[in-house]
Amino acid sequence: MIKFVILVTLISLINCKPKWTQLQNYTFEQYVRDFQKEYKADSEEYMTRKKIFEQNLADIISFNKEDHSYKKGVKNSTDESYFEKKESFSIFKNQVDFQIMDPPIKNSNQVYKAKGLTNLPDSVDWREKGVVSPVKDQGDCLSCWAFTAASVLESHAAINSGAGNLKILSVQQLVSCVPNPDQCGGQGGCFGAVADLAFEYTTKFGITSEYKYGYKSYFNDTYDCKFDPQKQSPEVINKGFAKINPNDQQALLEAVATIGPIAISIDSTGWDSYEEGVFDGCDYSENINIDHAVVLVGYGTDPKYGDYWLVRNSYGTEFGEDGYIRIKRESVPQCGVDSTPTNGFACGGDETPIKVCGMCGILSDSSYPLNTKIIV
């Protein structure tokens, strides 16, 4: 028993990455060890990364000394420049001379519109009901859409059949097998797509379990589809999907409170350094670049920083609050413009700017599967 305790202690020391409260004297040398960076000492790359890291660290420490609703920490990307993290960035000016469209609603069986429910609970967290699987890590593959769809399908299947029937479903099947001929949200697989395509696909083919078709696209290889329903029998199927009325906060609130976790699209700008608290770091005066799919699992109120949305990410448990981020839920949602819609939910060739509302555009594009059930 003593040996086991010592081993656990040593492992925890080796893997101990600093919290935001421990950064004042943190060095690049410690960072390289903690995050297992493979830079040759004193090389040009090493010195460049060190300079970027030290500037980013100074910015993080300075930010945390100010009165913000969330805290920043060092992450795997703290030695990357802003332009590496965000290769394209466009500014939305208050005065625009182009048409701005509402978010498109395509191919859904139905649209959920607010019913004016007044008896909603003050807080909702579907994790507490045993219908949310552990947080996963998409790695270098732009497969957030597949992780989001699989997670939502898992939850809705468990809700409909009982919390004890929580299946862990195959993200790889979606990454490798879901077609994206119209290039919605990207070119498909590890080059991006949207959760709705996965919901459509699983109405025809269903989705098998993770243990039958494990995730191997971590290092950004989509791989050919190897799904064989005879050998990898599907375990969950659905009958289409519903869209949430775009930019309608009451509709999204009602849906996540009464139906279950919801697939949402969002601007993840600034998330790379998020550690804890209620995130309010998206700027409405800039382009709201919807570029990431995540899962809305609830909402609540922080006693100090107010109302928030509870969002599950797919960057592993080291991200944010054990893999989750709380995003500011405004009493009166503000709106901005996504002038680069094909980065998120628009299809190829559709460059018309889209109106997006809520912090980081959280209200703009949401959906959930219909009649999801376990078949094995």
Which residues are the active-site residues? 144, 292, 313
Region label for 94, one of left (φ > 0), alpha (ψ between -120 and 50) or beta (otherwise): alpha
SS3 113: coil
Q: Are 266 and 361 in contact (CB under 8 A)?
A: yes
d(C-alpha 363, C-alpha 241), whole Å = 17
d(C-alpha 324, C-alpha 362), whole Å = 15
Q: Are 175 and 220 in contact (CB under 8 A)?
A: no
Residue 341 CA to its chain's centroid (Å): 17
d(C-alpha 148, C-alpha 260), whole Å = 13
Beta strands in 118-273 (DSSP E): 124-125, 236-237, 241-244, 262-266
d(C-alpha 342, C-alpha 365), whole Å = 13
SS3 47: helix
Q: Are 318 and 310 in contact (CB under 8 A)?
A: no
343's tokens? 């980065």
Helical residues (DSSP H) of 90-194, grouped into ranges:
144-161, 171-177
- Please give the single-letter amino acid code of residue 187: Q
Region label for 298, one of left (φ > 0), alpha (ψ between -120 and 50) or beta (otherwise): left
